[in-house]
Amino acid sequence: MHSCISVRPSLKKAAKLSVFVLLAKTLIHTQPAMAQSRNVSVANANNSIDPVIVTATRTPTRANDVLADYVYIGPEEIADAGQTSLVQLLQRQRGVEISSNGGSGAIASVFLRGANSGQTLVLIDGVRSQSINSGSPSLQAIPLSIIDHIEIIFGPESSLYGSDSICGVIQIFTKTGDGPLQVGASTGYGTYGTSISDASIYGSTSGDQKIRYSLSATAENAGGFNTIATNNSSRSSYNTSQTMGYTRTGAVGKLSQEWSKGQELGLQVFASRNNGQYPVFSSSKPIGNQINDVSTYAVFSKNQFTEKWKSLLQITQSYDLGQALTPTSNDVTNSRQNIYTWQNDITVGKDQVQFVAERRVASVYSTSSDGGISRDQITNSFAGAYQLKRGSHLGNASIRNDSISGYGPQTTGNLAYGYFFTNHLRANINYGTGFKAPSFYDLYFPGYGVPTLKPEKSRNSEIGLHYEVKQYDFRLAAYSNSITNLIQYSGTSPPCTTTQVNSAPNYGCASNVANAKITGLSIGGAIRSEYFSLKGSFDQKNPIDERTGFVLAKRARQLGNVGTEYKTSKSAFGAEGTFQANRNDYSNTGYMGGYAIFNLYGNYEFAKDWSIFGRWNNIFNKNYQLAHGFNTPGSNLFIGVRYAMK
């Protein structure tokens, strides 16, 4: 078992070599394409006003026809992010909260609509990126600067994607080449010794047998700050003088050829690493390193067999490798997923039918001073969906069955109906179910895991209202989500054995001891004119642990965002604010007060294709916490220069 997942297979090396060799070959033939008129694909030219959304239906869908509640983060917003990490950018979105034990390189959690971090599925260019061991994504390891755009879908999506998507999906899209050769690069420096540099090249050849290519790379480094706050109850056992820095690197490559009209064969590679320092709880007060490697590899074939039948056959590998390195320990976790997917989209009149068959083989090998895990799990899945469009009426229905080795099949479904009162005003009503399979840690970790754990399950109902024109838009969603079999720590017997209760280091076990009820109202909107724009959002929710009656840990009842921007053909300047009400840490202890932080950003094109940019985060130096007893970044400035071929 160890050897099969601790050594990366030859497919990964072959994929990497193919990208660079074929990319070099492709660039020789790009000159004719540069003379053609630019024709950028949807993936790279998506408009934040009525964009094309892929994640909500597994197919490109005009946003106005998407019945699920969503947030779209476009390339311009990412380019303006400066020193902001992916997790920090998500914090500024409607319906999203985060938790972190420090700065950009620290382990972080993202909560959609008050749900747990592990109840949100993360995809990178359509490939799962989730630790099978912990059940959560390593978002802190993904560099923001090599991302093109992001889609956040709220509500259960298990009927499309299976386990983990109880409360939503976050899909990260990298650049896809299409059109003349494009080259870009940027570098900058800021507070805490932060330096970020990135470069990219992408485009395609012309002609019938088009070759699309893209390659991006980035490197980040920061000296950081000390993360132990003065209110940390264990402060005497932590290092309170040394700063906690990080390094983060990443690269992504794509290469495909349309060898005949409607027939495309390609591959893609994504790899990133985050090495973040953290204070170790010990009388000797050492500094540890948390290292996370996230990578995905895919080979795909897109085929249009007939005018009405499109097929996607894809083979992927996904890795989440973690290492906690201290002077006295070296805990390692290797998590791998092999996924084989065949998706068929068939047009029936104005409607579309979708069939998906999927096989996922998950493996974990971990070692630690407290024990280890060496396990495999196989999931065979079949899904079907129907998208209906009849004049002012829209309808979606989907169903999926996931047969998981160890505890049998799980069936989920989703129904949604939308009605256009006018061309711009639409209402919708949705109902869906979801599930999350227990993590390998909860199932099998020595002294803590319980192999008989049940999957967490959810039932979500919501209604929505969506209005959008060129000058302004408005979105409202009211939802009620019931989550049963919530897996939490238990220190009693039963459900734990007497041995588990009396044994270090956990003194307890994983158990389906809780249910959660999350109700809420999410409102967002924007106003736009020729030069100015104003946007804002507000969420009012009640995320309750029904066993204790407490608000779920690190979740607030109110949160919101506001932003304004002035933009001309050569410059853009903006201001934004994020606020969150008070929260408590675990077991309703560790009170964290509410906060509001404000940021400024801008960019100016001083020569053709060249611009300077800057960002000032937390301009009022607000002292706030996202995990009780741990500091967050103070006021910090970042300035850089960017080259972007136009």
Task: Report the number of distinct structural domains present in the chain.
Answer: 1
Find tokens 């132990």 and name the residue. Answer: 228
Alpha carbon distances (Å) from 308 to 53, 153, 251, 345, 349: 21, 27, 36, 8, 9
Question: Which segments of 54-101 does DSSP mark as H helices, in order?
Answer: 75-79, 86-91
User: b/e map of 45-68 (b: 16 or more CB within 10 Å)?
Assistant: bbebebbbbbbbbbbebebbbbbb
Whether the pLDDT of residue 127 is over 80: the answer is: yes
Torsion, Cα 503 508 509 510, to 10 degrees, reads -150
Q: What six digits make up the tokens of 571?
A: 């410059």
Q: By the 8 A CB rule, do 317 and 335 touch?
A: no
In the chain, what percentage of residues exceed pLDDT 90? Answer: 82
- Residue 101 to residue 631: CA distance in whole angstroms: 7
Which of 4-8, 393-397, 545-549, 598-602 has the lowest average pLDDT? 4-8
pLDDT tens-digit map of 327-336:
988 999 999 9
The whole-angstrom distance between residue 62's C-alpha and the CA centroid of its chain comes to: 21
CA neighbours closer than 13 Å in the CB half-sphere of residue 48: 20
Whether the pLDDT of residue 242 is over 50: the answer is: yes
By C-alpha distance, which of 310, 341, 337, 325 is closest to 280? Answer: 325
pLDDT at 48: 65
- Residue 511 to residue 387: CA distance in whole angstroms: 38
pLDDT tens-digit map of 355-408:
999 999 999 998 887 778 899 999 999 999 999 999 999 999 999 999 998 778
- Residue 507 to residue 557: CA distance in whole angstroms: 32
Q: For residue 156, say if its preceding peptide bond is cis, omega within 30 degrees of 0.
A: no
pLDDT tens-digit map of 51-107:
899 999 999 999 999 999 999 999 999 999 888 899 999 999 999 999 999 989 999
Residues paired with residue 345 on neighbouring β-strands, in sequence order: 310, 354
Q: By the 8 A CB rule, do 285 and 237 touch?
A: yes
The whole-angstrom distance between residue 249's C-alpha and the CA centroid of its chain comes to: 17
By C-alpha distance, which of 618, 583, 582 is closest to 601? Answer: 618
Residues paired with residue 292 on neighbouring β-strands, in sequence order: 274, 322
- Residue 148 to residue 47: CA distance in whole angstroms: 12
- Residue 54 to residue 124: CA distance in whole angstroms: 12
DSSP assigned state of 640: E
Question: For 561-575, what is the mean pLDDT?
Answer: 96
Q: What six digits make up the tokens of 602?
A: 């801008």
Whether the pLDDT of residue 435 is over 70: the answer is: yes
By C-alpha distance, which of 192, 249, 250, 186 is closest to 222? Answer: 192
Question: For 109-114, what is the mean pLDDT?
Answer: 95
Whether the pLDDT of residue 17 is over 60: the answer is: no
Q: What six digits make up the tokens of 551?
A: 């608000």
Rg, C-alpha atoms of the chain: 24
The 3-state DSSP class for residue 236 equals helix
By C-alpha distance, which of 635, 636, 638, 600 is closest to 621? Answer: 635
Edge-first strand order for the sheet with 168-173 is 70-73, 149-154, 168-173, 121-124, 127-128
pLDDT tens-digit map of 581-596:
999 998 888 999 999 9
Whether the pLDDT of residue 11 is over 70: the answer is: no
Question: For 611-625, what is the mean pLDDT?
Answer: 97
pLDDT at 368: 80
pLDDT at 144: 95
Domain that holds residue 289: 2-644
Contacts of residue 380, Cβ cutoff 8 Å, sequence gap at least 6: 358, 359, 402, 403
pLDDT at 506: 84
- Residue 184 to residue 611: CA distance in whole angstroms: 11
Q: Which long-range contacts (CB under 8 A, 24 or more apart) does 539-546 make?
A: 539/94, 539/95, 539/113, 541/113, 541/114, 542/517, 542/518, 543/114, 543/115, 543/516, 543/517, 543/518, 544/516, 544/517, 544/518, 545/486, 545/514, 545/515, 545/516, 546/514, 546/515, 546/516, 546/517
Residues paired with residue 391 on neighbouring β-strands, in sequence order: none
Here the CATH number for the domain that contains residue 634 is 2.40.170.20
HEC per residue, 159-197: HHHCCCCCCEEEEEECCCCCCCCEEEEEEEEEHHHEEEE
- Residue 191 to residue 633: CA distance in whole angstroms: 10
Whether the pLDDT of residue 432 is over 50: the answer is: yes
Q: By the 8 A CB rule, do 253 and 19 touch?
A: yes
The 3-state DSSP class for residue 586 equals helix
pLDDT tens-digit map of 215-228:
999 999 999 999 99
Indicate the pairing of strand 610-617 with strand 595-607: antiparallel
**Which residue has better confidence, 123 or 50?**
123
H or E element in which residue 25 lies: helix 10-27
